[in-house]
Amino acid sequence: MMALVVANLALDGYEIDQAADGGRLIIELVRGARCRQMAVDVIVSDLRMPVCSGLEILRTLRRGGWQVPFVLMTAFPDPTTYIEAARFGARVLEKPFGMNDLRRVVADILGEASL
Protein backbone atom coordinates (compact mmCIF):
# COMPACT_ATOMS: atom_id res chain seq x y z
CA MET A 1 0.00 0.00 0.00
CA MET A 2 2.74 2.46 0.94
CA ALA A 3 4.51 1.99 -2.41
CA LEU A 4 1.27 2.98 -4.16
CA VAL A 5 0.91 6.04 -1.91
CA VAL A 6 4.50 7.10 -2.60
CA ALA A 7 4.16 6.57 -6.36
CA ASN A 8 0.96 8.62 -6.60
CA LEU A 9 2.24 11.52 -4.55
CA ALA A 10 5.52 11.51 -6.48
CA LEU A 11 3.54 11.74 -9.74
CA ASP A 12 2.05 14.96 -8.38
CA GLY A 13 5.56 16.36 -7.97
CA TYR A 14 5.95 15.91 -4.22
CA GLU A 15 9.37 15.04 -2.89
CA ILE A 16 8.94 11.91 -0.78
CA ASP A 17 11.06 10.63 2.08
CA GLN A 18 10.27 7.23 3.57
CA ALA A 19 11.09 5.59 6.87
CA ALA A 20 11.24 1.85 7.48
CA ASP A 21 9.13 2.07 10.63
CA GLY A 22 7.63 4.53 13.10
CA GLY A 23 10.69 4.76 15.32
CA ARG A 24 12.94 5.43 12.33
CA LEU A 25 10.57 8.20 11.17
CA ILE A 26 10.90 10.03 14.47
CA ILE A 27 14.69 9.65 14.45
CA GLU A 28 14.97 10.93 10.88
CA LEU A 29 12.71 13.92 11.57
CA VAL A 30 14.67 14.94 14.66
CA ARG A 31 18.02 14.43 12.95
CA GLY A 32 16.88 16.38 9.88
CA ALA A 33 15.59 19.25 12.00
CA ARG A 34 18.85 19.45 13.94
CA CYS A 35 20.87 19.58 10.74
CA ARG A 36 18.33 21.90 9.09
CA GLN A 37 18.37 19.55 6.14
CA MET A 38 14.75 18.54 6.16
CA ALA A 39 11.63 20.61 5.67
CA VAL A 40 8.53 18.47 6.14
CA ASP A 41 5.25 19.78 4.79
CA VAL A 42 3.04 16.80 5.60
CA ILE A 43 3.41 13.33 7.10
CA VAL A 44 1.39 10.40 5.77
CA SER A 45 1.53 7.43 8.10
CA ASP A 46 -0.20 4.13 8.56
CA LEU A 47 -1.83 3.45 11.92
CA ARG A 48 -0.30 0.00 12.35
CA MET A 49 3.44 -0.15 11.84
CA PRO A 50 6.47 -1.83 13.39
CA VAL A 51 8.15 -0.23 16.42
CA CYS A 52 5.46 2.38 17.08
CA SER A 53 2.02 3.13 15.69
CA GLY A 54 1.00 6.12 13.65
CA LEU A 55 -0.82 7.48 16.72
CA GLU A 56 2.33 7.09 18.81
CA ILE A 57 4.29 9.01 16.18
CA LEU A 58 1.64 11.71 16.13
CA ARG A 59 1.60 12.04 19.94
CA THR A 60 5.40 12.11 20.13
CA LEU A 61 5.70 14.81 17.48
CA ARG A 62 2.98 17.01 18.98
CA ARG A 63 4.41 16.72 22.47
CA GLY A 64 7.78 17.70 21.00
CA GLY A 65 6.28 20.85 19.49
CA TRP A 66 6.03 19.63 15.89
CA GLN A 67 2.92 21.00 14.20
CA VAL A 68 3.46 19.46 10.75
CA PRO A 69 0.15 18.31 9.19
CA PHE A 70 -0.44 14.60 9.65
CA VAL A 71 -2.55 12.10 7.68
CA LEU A 72 -3.24 8.80 9.39
CA MET A 73 -4.27 5.87 7.17
CA THR A 74 -6.05 2.92 8.74
CA ALA A 75 -7.91 -0.22 7.81
CA PHE A 76 -8.95 -0.55 11.45
CA PRO A 77 -10.92 2.60 12.26
CA ASP A 78 -12.57 2.89 15.61
CA PRO A 79 -13.89 5.84 17.62
CA THR A 80 -10.71 6.02 19.72
CA THR A 81 -8.57 6.43 16.61
CA TYR A 82 -10.71 9.33 15.40
CA ILE A 83 -10.77 10.98 18.83
CA GLU A 84 -6.99 10.74 19.26
CA ALA A 85 -6.30 11.88 15.72
CA ALA A 86 -8.61 14.88 16.12
CA ARG A 87 -7.11 15.71 19.50
CA PHE A 88 -3.71 16.06 17.89
CA GLY A 89 -4.95 17.69 14.68
CA ALA A 90 -4.55 14.80 12.23
CA ARG A 91 -6.74 13.73 9.34
CA VAL A 92 -7.83 10.09 9.07
CA LEU A 93 -8.23 8.19 5.82
CA GLU A 94 -9.98 4.84 6.04
CA LYS A 95 -8.68 2.01 3.88
CA PRO A 96 -9.51 1.15 1.28
CA PHE A 97 -9.48 4.61 -0.23
CA GLY A 98 -8.86 5.85 -3.74
CA MET A 99 -5.53 7.45 -4.50
CA ASN A 100 -7.40 10.56 -5.63
CA ASP A 101 -8.84 10.79 -2.10
CA LEU A 102 -5.33 10.85 -0.66
CA ARG A 103 -4.15 13.32 -3.29
CA ARG A 104 -7.08 15.64 -2.45
CA VAL A 105 -6.36 15.48 1.27
CA VAL A 106 -2.67 16.30 0.76
CA ALA A 107 -3.47 19.11 -1.70
CA ASP A 108 -6.06 20.50 0.75
CA ILE A 109 -3.59 20.41 3.64
CA LEU A 110 -0.96 22.18 1.56
CA GLY A 111 -3.46 24.75 0.30
CA GLU A 112 -3.13 23.70 -3.32
CA ALA A 113 -5.86 23.52 -5.91
CA SER A 114 -7.81 20.33 -5.34
CA LEU A 115 -7.65 17.63 -8.00
Distance CA 43, CA 38 (A): 13
Higher pLDDT residue, 102 or 30?
Answer: 102
pLDDT, position 82 = 95
Evaluated on CA atoms 76, 82, 51, 105, the torsion sign reads: positive
Evaluated on CA atoms 98, 104, 110, 113, the torsion sign reads: positive
pLDDT, position 39 = 74
pLDDT tens sequence across 60-94? 999 988 899 999 999 998 999 999 999 999 999 99
Strands 70-74 and 91-94, sheet pairing: parallel
Distance CA 115, CA 112 (A): 9
How do the domains of the chain map onto residue ranges?
2-109
Helix 54-63 and helix 22-35, axial crossing angle in degrees, nearest 10: 30
Helix/strand/coil for 74: strand
- Spacing of C-alpha 5 from chain mean position: 11
Report the predicted TM-score, pTM, of the whole model to 2 decimal places: 0.88
pLDDT, position 46 = 94
In this structure, whether the domain defined by 2-109 belongs to CATH 3.40.50.2300 is answered with: yes
What amino acid occupies position 62?
A: R
pLDDT tens sequence across 19-64? 889 999 888 888 777 666 567 899 999 999 989 999 999 999 999 8
